[in-house]
């Protein structure tokens, strides 16, 4: 076992503070990773503050992890010391299955060991990426292209795959009109990825304040949703809409922007239920769907795609001692577009 230095919430809604704990000794199929960068995801805040489901405390958040391999177990064949690697939202899956479902494992929620705030196979809590190192089974470690800046690559492990998966599943590409609702940590990744896939990309954002950013990131069009004319002008326009916002908005109004047989996919999680009128779906044989991260297989595909197209997140790099202030800024949408912690700053 090795002692890890980290930041943790010691109790529900408590601020993060320095924390030490023991990482398990590596097994033959484990990879020991020195963490270089850890992204801050909005879900980190929800879980630290005990807002989604009962948390396991102390809680070390972080599931957007990039680092270098320190050590590999005797049975590891895909990685070696010094490799650049990543760890995403889960570190084990299909724990009761005879065979791992490599394409849909992310949806077997009761059989996932999440990277933090979860239980490993042995019943011990998992601790995440706001720490100096981590031990992960080889099958859940990802190769990160060396061509990408590693700090900007960290958010790909959650924000990137969260947008890549629905864009691929619903066939975003040439000839398809795709709208991204919200230009935040998730939405800006959707713009970059959909543009690289060859789709015609429109951003739907509350005001015109981020128009220049959206066009720089690859959007072809930008509309403010606080202008009622937007919904009249764009009615029946899109093959696919990805809704990244967690605020309660009128889904019926956005469903009306879909073409016949179009789909709106939810990746943001509103705090309260949102009503949907049947006619919003029936009138155009439209679909309302959801998508959640991606499998390890698909996450590697996403990383390779980003390596080929030089796609990373737009980030603000911070020191670990600034993490609590960063949380408050995320809640206020005061970041363009993702915070990443430089883990060299941990004392």
A 10 A CB-CB count for 210 gives: 23
pTM for this model (two decimals): 0.94
Dihedral (Cα; 221, 225, 231, 237), 10-degree rounding: 30
Provide the pLDDT for residue 347: 83
Cis link prior to 337 (omega < 30° from 0)? yes
Please state, in angstroms and rounded to a whole number, the distance separating the CA atoms of residues 314 and 129. Answer: 19
Residue 315 burial class via C-beta count within 10 angstroms: exposed 0-12, middle 13-18, buried 19 and up: buried
DSSP line for 110-173: GG-EESSSSB-TTSPBP--SSBSEEEEEGGG-EE--TTS-HHHHGGGGTHHHHHHHHHHHTT--
Instruction: Check whether 96 has a pLDDT greater than 90.
Output: no
The β-bridge relationship of strands 238-243 and 221-224 is unpaired
A 10 A CB-CB count for 314 gives: 17
| Tens-digit pLDDT profile for residues 9-32 | 999 989 999 999 999 999 999 999
| CB proximity list for 179: less than 8 A, separation 6 or greater | 201, 202, 203, 204, 234, 237, 238, 240, 241, 242, 257
Closest CA to 306 of 103, 145, 171, 66: 145
Please state, in angstroms and rounded to a whole number, the distance separating the CA atoms of residues 272 and 148. Answer: 38
> For residue 296, what is the enclosing H or E element?
helix 296-309
Which residue do the tokens 């072809």 mark? 220
Closest CA to 64 of 114, 23, 18: 114
Provide the pLDDT for residue 126: 97
CA distances from 332 to 35, 153, 160, 203 (A): 28, 23, 21, 20
Provide the pLDDT for residue 272: 85
DSSP conformational letter for 14: P
Provide the pLDDT for residue 99: 85
Q: Provide mean pLDDT across the span 155-175.
A: 98
Please state, in angstroms and rounded to a whole number, the distance separating the CA atoms of residues 133 and 255. Answer: 44
Instruction: Check whether 270 has a pLDDT greater than 90.
Output: no
At 262, is the secondary structure helix, strand, or coil?
strand
Please state, in angstroms and rounded to a whole number, the distance separating the CA atoms of residues 76 and 93. Answer: 18
| Tens-digit pLDDT profile for residues 199-230 | 999 999 999 999 999 999 999 999 999 999 99
At 347, is the secondary structure helix, strand, or coil?
coil
Instruction: Check whether 97 has a pLDDT greater than 90.
Output: no
- Angle between helix 159-169 and 187-197 (nearest 10): 40
How are the residues of the chain apportioned to helix, strand and coil, as percentages rounded to the nearest 5? Answer: 30, 30, 45
At 48, is the secondary structure helix, strand, or coil?
helix
Instruction: Check if the beta carbon of residue 282 is closer than 8 Å to that of residue 228.
Output: no
> For residue 55, what is the enclosing H or E element?
none
Q: Provide mean pLDDT across the span 307-327.
A: 98
CA distances from 112 to 48, 91, 104, 115, 296 (A): 19, 8, 11, 9, 12
Instruction: Check whether 334 has a pLDDT greater than 90.
Output: yes
Please state, in angstroms and rounded to a whole number, the distance separating the CA atoms of residues 58 and 55. Answer: 9
């Amino acid at each position: 076992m090795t002692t890890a230095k980290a930041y943790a919430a010691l109790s529900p809604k408590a601020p993060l503070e320095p924390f030490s704990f023991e990482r398990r000794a590596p097994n033959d199929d484990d990879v020991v990773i020195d963490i270089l960068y850890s992204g801050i995801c909005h879900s980190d805040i929800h879980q630290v503050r005990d807002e989604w489901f009962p948390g396991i405390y102390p809680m070390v958040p972080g599931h957007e992890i990039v680092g270098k391999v320190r050590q590999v177990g005797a049975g590891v064949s895909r990685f070696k010391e010094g490799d650049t690697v990543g760890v995403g939202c889960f570190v084990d899956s299909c724990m009761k299955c005879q065979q791992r479902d490599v394409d849909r494992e992310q949806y077997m929620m009761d059989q996932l060991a999440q990277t933090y705030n979860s239980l490993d196979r042995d019943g011990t809590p998992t601790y995440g990426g706001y720490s100096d190192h981590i031990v992960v089974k080889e099958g859940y470690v990802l190769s990160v292209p060396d061509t990408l800046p590693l700090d900007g690559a960290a958010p790909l492990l959650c924000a990137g795959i969260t947008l890549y998966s629905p864009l691929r599943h619903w066939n975003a590409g040439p000839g398809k009109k795709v709208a991204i609702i919200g230009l935040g940590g998730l939405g800006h990744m959707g713009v970059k990825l959909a543009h690289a896939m060859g789709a015609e990309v429109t951003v739907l954002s509350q005001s015109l304040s981020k128009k220049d950013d959206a066009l720089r990131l690859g959007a072809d069009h930008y509309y403010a949703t606080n202008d009622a004319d937007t919904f009249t002008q764009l009615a029946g326009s899109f093959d696919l809409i990805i809704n990244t916002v967690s605020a309660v908005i009128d889904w019926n109004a956005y469903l009306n922007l879909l073409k016949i047989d179009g789909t709106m996919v939810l990746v943001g999680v509103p705090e309260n239920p949102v009503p949907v009128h049947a006619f919003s779906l029936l009138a155009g044989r439209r679909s309302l769907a959801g998508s959640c991260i991606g499998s390890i297989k698909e996450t590697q595909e996403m990383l390779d795609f980003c390596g080929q197209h030089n796609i990373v997140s737009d980030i603000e790099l911070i020191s670990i001692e600034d993490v609590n202030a960063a949380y408050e800024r995320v809640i206020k949408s005061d970041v363009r577009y993702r915070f990443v912690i430089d883990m060299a700053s941990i004392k």
